[in-house]
Structure 1
């Protein structure tokens, strides 16, 4: 039984919680032990249950998540959570907590308590955790929210989000950007004396061999990625990459989402756009790179392929990036964009109000 890091964290929190029945905490431990690869008979012995019981809770968790560990009375109908409540959980999760809560982000318990206190909605934190997992919501991983000062913010958000949620029929939507100064680092691990190996923390040495700049385009509809590495980021390299990115989609209308970098609006680029009227640029608001889906892919490439890699040369780094993209494209899947324009603008308005309140309180 394989568990993700998020599942392990949830189960450990449940197993160590004093707010849940002991039997529920025991079931969480059973699943954790199974996830660690423990033998079935050992788990049964440690938990003081039969082997079929171990199988039962493993199966229930695999099918229903944390909710599957809860026991429902036989003969009693299972209480269904209304769709309206589920929608409210999702909507609140996507917004910063109200200022009066003093929270920087939601946890499952704090959101459950807030719903009960402010709206009279009673749901368990287990239910909220399941909704977050199903909707791929991770508010605890959210960073700082930067409020854009772009005067056309609302119009640009509506334009870009409209392409994500309802692209023109038969058109191709490409999300384009550049990841600059990707470093080729050779990581070496010094060997410590045996007497200190158990007590001293090992530190890695980093030898820098150079950098490259990754130009990439994400096909929003298919999830496929086109990527090229260049020694410098300039108008010539960007335009060359752009031509290669749109080439496979000849004969179609192509909509390109990108940021406000100067090379994206250079005279040579504008001239090329005039010569290719089937290609349309859509710019994200200033300071809102999070609206560009390729940024998500850059983050994944960094975590899974670059950050912990060892590259003795720039060529080795470039090969690693190319291999990763090629492997991804074999079974590419698109991101599921769910945030609507209204939800994004509502979150921005809330953030603006909270900032104004904070400034007002600090000035008193």
Structure 2
């Protein structure tokens, strides 16, 4: 029994799920065979990703950002998502941050990426540190991150809250250390998947972040990040 429990715990760890979920799956397979692993759809909410949307996502992912007039040379995990939302292809988006000192990854899923939601995420990041400690938030030049003549909310908030908003140079977002973390997230949580909805995909990303922060010393994770940083 102890050996079986260790196996369950290990399976749960590598699949980013709970031991109870693993036990349920094992029980179902023992009772009904491998057919129990196939989902049984009984109507309900239709898929959020329509076929035209999937085709458009693939088309944009295979293109180069400069073909769309964007000021960077390559796509990261976040940038195509930002662009797809701006173009109306999909309707939710993620915010993410990587704490270099703590080696922790943070993420929020929102319907849109605008200055209000960006500032909301910045407030969350600010709350993770003592108010007397100055922090720097490194961003690319995507418009919701910017302080402009027409909208100075980002700069005003940063000055009032002991925060520096630092921007990577144009076409150099790869300098941001979070880009390597996105490589690992894509490998562990997204590659080879076909999530039926944005909600399911967001759930997988959240579960990955929880696992990643508890297992920051994982050898596979560290190897992926190291290779991405060296690329």
Bucket of the pairwise TM-score, normalised by the shorter protein: 0.5 to 0.7
TM-score normalized with structure 1 length: 0.34
Give 1:231 deviation, angstroms.
Answer: 1.7
Tell me which residue corresponds to 2:157. Answer: 272
Q: Distance in 2 between matches of 1:319 and 1:274?
A: 34
Q: Distance in 2 between matches of 1:219 and 1:330?
A: 14
Tell me which residue corresponds to 1:240. Answer: 120
Give 1:180 deviation, angstroms.
Answer: 4.5
Aligned pair partner of 2:180 in 280, 285, 296 = 296
Task: Evaluate the alpha carbon distance shift between residue 302 and residue 220 of structure 1 in structure 2; reply closer, same or farther with a 3 A threshold.
Answer: same
Structure number, greater radius of gyration: 1
Superposed CA offset, 1:97-149 (max 9, x none): xxxxxxxxxxxxxxxxxxxxxxxxxxxxxxxxxxxxxxxxxxxxxxxxxxxxx
Superposed CA offset, 1:149-186 (max 9, x none): xxxxxxxxxxxxxxxxxxxxxxxxxxxx944428xxxx
Tell me which residue corresponds to 2:81. Answer: 181
Alignment of 1:259 onto 2:140 = yes
Give 1:256 deviation, angstroms.
Answer: 1.6
Unaligned runs of 5+ in 2: 1-76, 83-88
Give 1:212 deviation, angstroms.
Answer: 2.9
**Contact 2:91/2:112 (<8 A) preserved:** no
**Contact 1:180/1:213 (<8 A) preserved:** no
Aligned pair partner of 1:223 in 103, 108, 112 = 103
Task: Evaluate the alpha carbon distance shift between residue 279 and residue 336 of structure 1 in structure 2; reply closer, same or farther with a 3 A threshold.
Answer: farther
Higher relative contact order (CA 8 A, sep 6+): 2
Aligned pair partner of 1:250 in 103, 119, 130 = 130
TM-score normalized with structure 2 length: 0.52
**Contact 1:179/1:215 (<8 A) preserved:** no
Tell me which residue corresponds to 1:150. Answer: none
Aligned length: 136
Provide the secondary structure at the position in 2 that maps to 1:218.
strand
Aligned-residue RMSD, C-alpha? 2.8
